[in-house]
Amino acid sequence: MQRNKKMPLLVLVTMGLTVVTAQAQYLNTFDTSSSFVTGAANRTYNPPPAWFGFDYGTPTASSTASVSWSSNDYNNSLTSGSAKLNWTFNTTADGAGSAAFTMDLFGSAQNYSGGTLSFDIMVDPSSTLDAYGGYGYFQVFTRDGSYNDNATSFAEELGNPNYSSPASPGAGVWQSVSIALGNGADSSIRALTFQDYTDTGRNINGSETIYIDNVQLTPVPEPSTIALAGLGIAGLFLTRRHRAAMS
């Protein structure tokens, strides 16, 4: 009879420690060339696999942009790689403008409210410097279910170690980026856009190459899930007290 009385507590513990989140974690480490597809003809808007390609920008950037897989890896691994983004700016001919590359992650928008977007980025040292000692003004956007751009909190003078908040380690060195998504429009995610920008002040006339690795979206547990976990821990505590009292 005592064994039967303990069963509800054991069930409670089992239920409480079963953690389920609203969205699963997304991670692309670009291990192989099949980690994503490129080219307009392969863009189905219904991943997987993820699609990575040039989205919009100045006339020169549009005509020269390319996306490919590279063995250049954040962890210097021989069995992994990254996405290589390359384009050319011609501020003299085109004036101010951008080079924007989009990575389609999902077939429909996913809710990552309160979650985190992270990735690693490196500027190739062969890239063209701007007038400020960097490689353009770099921003990250999420794309919602209607494919609207929603700016995240991250923006920097790309590859410029003298730029503060955030500070870049400079060209040729990987930089780890972590972006809190909060509860705003940027947390409804179907795709991500990485945009670099030049103007007559930056005056970039030449090629740029960056590498993107370890794109990750990390959700947070729903409040009900957290409550269940707490309930399970409480049940485990009560079970231990019960056993101690019986001994």
Confidence of residue 2 (pLDDT cuts 50, 70, 90): very low
Cβ count within 10 A of residue 97: 19
Q: Given the DSSP bridges, would you call strands 110-111 and 191-198 parallel, antiparallel or unpaired?
A: unpaired
CATH of the domain at 194: 2.60.120.260
Is residue 37 in some structural domain? yes
- pLDDT at residue 219 tops 90: yes
Choose from 15-24, 111-120, 235-244 the range with maximum mean pLDDT.
Answer: 111-120
Is residue 5 in some structural domain? no
The pLDDT assigned to 185 comes to 93
Of residues 239 and 217, more confidently modeled: 217
Among residues 200, 210, 213, the alpha carbon closest in space to that of 58 is found at 200
The total domain count for the chain is 1
- pLDDT at residue 49 tops 70: yes
In angstroms, the CA 218 to CA 97 distance is 32
User: pLDDT for 53-87, tens place per residue?
Assistant: 999 999 999 999 999 999 999 988 888 999 999 99
Q: Among residues of the chain, what percentage have pLDDT more than 70?
A: 81
CA distances from 236 to 3, 12, 64 (A): 16, 8, 61
Is residue 200 in some structural domain? yes
Mean predicted confidence (pLDDT) in 13-34? 70
Is residue 66 in some structural domain? yes
Is residue 182 in some structural domain? yes
Q: Among residues of the chain, what percentage have pLDDT more than 90?
A: 74
- According to DSSP, the residues that pair with 138 across neighbouring strands are 156, 196
- pLDDT at residue 115 tops 50: yes
Q: Answer whether 0.85 is exceeded by the pTM.
A: no
Domain that holds residue 122: 23-222
Is residue 108 in some structural domain? yes
User: pLDDT for 80-98, tens place per residue?
Assistant: 999 999 999 999 999 999 9
Is residue 218 in some structural domain? yes
Q: What is the largest CA-CA distance in the chain?
A: 87
- pLDDT at residue 191 tops 80: yes
The pLDDT assigned to 222 comes to 64
- Length of the chain, in residues: 247
30-34, 144-148, 236-240: range with lowest mean pLDDT: 236-240
Is residue 118 in some structural domain? yes
| Residue whose token pair is 């101690």 | 244
- pLDDT at residue 18 tops 80: no
Mean predicted confidence (pLDDT) in 226-242? 47
User: pLDDT for 139-189, tens place per residue?
Assistant: 999 999 999 999 999 999 999 999 877 889 999 999 999 999 999 999 999
The pLDDT assigned to 153 comes to 94
